[in-house]
Amino acid sequence: MPSSTAAANKKLDSTNRKEYPVTERPTRKQLANAIRALSMDAVEQARSGHPGMPMGMADIAEVLWNDFLNHNPSNPRWHDRDRFVLSNGHGSMLLYSLAYLTGYRLEIEELQQFRQFGQRTAGHPERDLDIGIETTTGPLGQGLANAVGMALAEKVLAGDFNRPDIKIVDHHTYVFLGDGCLMEGISHEACSLAGTLELGKLIALYDDNGITIDGETAGWFTDDTASRFRSYGWHVIDNVDGHDALSISSALKNAQSETQRPTLIICKTVIGFGAPNKQGTADTHGAPLGTDEIEAARSELEWNHPPFSVPDNILKEWDKRSKGAALETKWQKRFDAYKSTYPELAEEYLRRMEGRLPLDWRNQSATAISKVIEEAKDVATRKASLRALEAYAPFLPELMGGSADLTGSNLTLHSRSTAINKTNSNGNYIYFGVREFGMTAILNGMSLHGGFIPYGGTFLVFSDYARNALRMAALMRIQNISVLTHDSIGLGEDGPTHQPVEHIASLRAIPNMNVWRPCDGVETAVAWRSAIERKDGPTSLILTRQSLPHIDRTANQIETISCGGYTLLESDGDPELVIIATGSEVNLALLSAQELVSDGIRVRVVSMPCTEIFDIQPVDYRSQILPDTNARRLVIEAGIKDSWWRYVDGKGDVIGMNTFGHSAPASLLFEHYGFTVKAIVSRARQMLSV
């Protein structure tokens, strides 16, 4: 135990304060003070963290979690539970305290190990349903956008499965947020769309304490937040006393009665409430209170208990295991009646919520890929992507897609797409508007909720806007498919502002992100199948604007596309040169190889549409494709070279970009930057002559 906490214990033991009788029913303030005490003690013990928000929002959390939130700590995966999101995730001790107090599988020892290696009580909440954490938060504003996605998922699922006589999808999404969340631009993207789509089951509680890390927000945040949200179409309840249980309860009842519009409850709070010398200041935001202030807070709050000690009467009042089990039992009876009346719908609901693909998925997807092979069409891979959607969508109703105002360019709208709007929740397509970041984080929320395979489209160059949400999907290991088109200088006349050069390498640098850059319709169909089947992380599909030729393959080659890299052209004998390429450059590699072979050079061409999948193949397979011999290696990709040098391994070169592009016809640009047969053959001969 750190010396500061030990000192606090010593001081506490020397007092004559009377403890709460364990038989007495605690007041609401005492229940909230349990959150405050646990939070400040954990931060103090860790010597790191944010005590101010948990102490400031404790009263709000007490009312919500005790009186309104439908959840079952004994079964955190109950499908119809209310979702709770802590968007201001720096206040993580609020959530850990709530999880412990209400009966989730979180022990007091884990609170004592706050922010320590290997503990579930990390500095910012990391998704862990076992302890009631629905999403990973910390990057401000994203939790709010995730909550919009969860509320949207609830609305669409309700439209898909509820029947007039039985509702099996009927829950709210609650989100806590602070000033920082509202200053981040993603809050505008997500909340504007939430109002337009009339997500009436979304209730946001804003911790309006006027303090951020730098001090009083009056110097940099003077928005009329209430008017802002009313302009979005939200129901706004403002000037709520965030430390008065009756005011909070009244606001929540009001919010629940509004079924059409999402609700923002603006709660006036004091950051660090209960710390008499530091409350209301930035001193409580991101640092331990210190031994003296914690002792003063215990006196101020009349919390006469040692650190990490909560009296039995308070624990008993907080425990929601029995109440939660009763709520789930009530729902289960309703679901049993639904299953009896609508057996097929019930099975489909469970399949989707459990993330299972249809039983005939492998056969159906194989048939779809075979059809692409038979058609043998030259096509832009963005169009091949649409054909894949057309093939897979009929037996995947959970495919939920959209585009950030580029539907006609990304080709994300298939023939079975139906737009979701305020009057229609029985859809599967979202017009996101120009909201790349918001789109991706909302889709993360839909994925987290369950019941959907989400995908969203934009130009590859604008993945920059969505990057942190893409990173969060990878960090949380959740499914989210990004359809990223116009993948290179092949965009042409739009110029360097719209020509992605560093973006593929940047996406490959994200751990747990699968990046596919297919070279034709067949690889595109396989890439989509891989993305659909992948449940433990996101996938980025990198697609061309320009048409690419169909490539004939053997059955074995078709089978090994799913390995991420495979031999497309085999050499006559051990290769002298291995050419590795992706996307639009694969055909260039084949044409270049033909010329080199005609000169008597033994050339192997490897298509590597997904390096991440290739890298996890068995060593024997990888060495078969890229033999550890003296063969020279040449990589070709119309993007920054950075991610390819490990494959060259000192035995060759990379033909790629090291500058931004230009505004000009694509054919001229490819020639200018050396993506031609002539330039590739010349470089190969130079390498082999050394």
Residue with token string 């500095």: 123
Helix axes 142-161, 185-196, angle to 10 degrees: 20
CB atoms < 10 A from the CB of 598, how many?
A: 8
Question: CB of 101 within 8 A of CB of 315?
Answer: yes
Quick one: which H or E segment has residue 85? strand 83-86
Tokens of 439: 């789109």
Residue with token string 């990223």: 484
Q: How far is CA 455 from CA 96, 167, 406, 482, in A?
A: 32, 27, 13, 6
Check 317, 436, 576, 637 and give the catalytic one. Answer: 436
CA 43 to chain centre: 27
Question: CB of 502 within 8 A of CB of 345?
Answer: no
Where are the alpha helices (H) located in 225-320, listed in sequence order? Answer: 225-232, 245-257, 291-301, 312-318
Question: CB of 548 within 8 A of CB of 381?
Answer: yes
d(CA 172, CA 155): 10
Q: What letter would DSSP give residue 19?
A: P
d(CA 231, CA 239): 18
Question: CB of 465 within 8 A of CB of 493?
Answer: no
Tokens of 254: 């009001």
Q: What letter would DSSP give residue 83?
A: E
For the CA atoms of 148, 150, 151, 156, the dihedral, rounded to the nearest 10 degrees, stands at 120
Q: How far is CA 462 from CA 123, 487, 541, in A?
A: 30, 11, 14
Q: How far is CA 111 from CA 95, 131, 202, 285, in A?
A: 11, 12, 30, 19
Query: For the chain, how far is it from start to end, CA to CA, in angstroms?
Result: 65
Helix axes 28-46, 52-63, angle to 10 degrees: 150
SS3 state of residue 52:
helix
Active site residue 671: no
d(CA 22, CA 546): 73
β-sheet bridge partners, residue 421: 424
Q: How far is CA 189 from CA 89, 259, 439, in A?
A: 19, 22, 8
SS3 state of residue 566:
strand
Radius of gyration of the chain (CA): 28
Question: CB of 74 within 8 A of CB of 102?
Answer: no
Sequence-ordered list of residues with C-beta below 8 angstroms from that of 678, at least 6 positions apart, any chain: none
Residue with token string 């020892």: 109
Sequence-ordered list of residues with C-beta below 8 angstroms from that of 276, at least 6 positions apart, any chain: 293, 296, 297, 299, 300
SS3 state of residue 382:
helix
Catalytically active residues, by annotation? 436
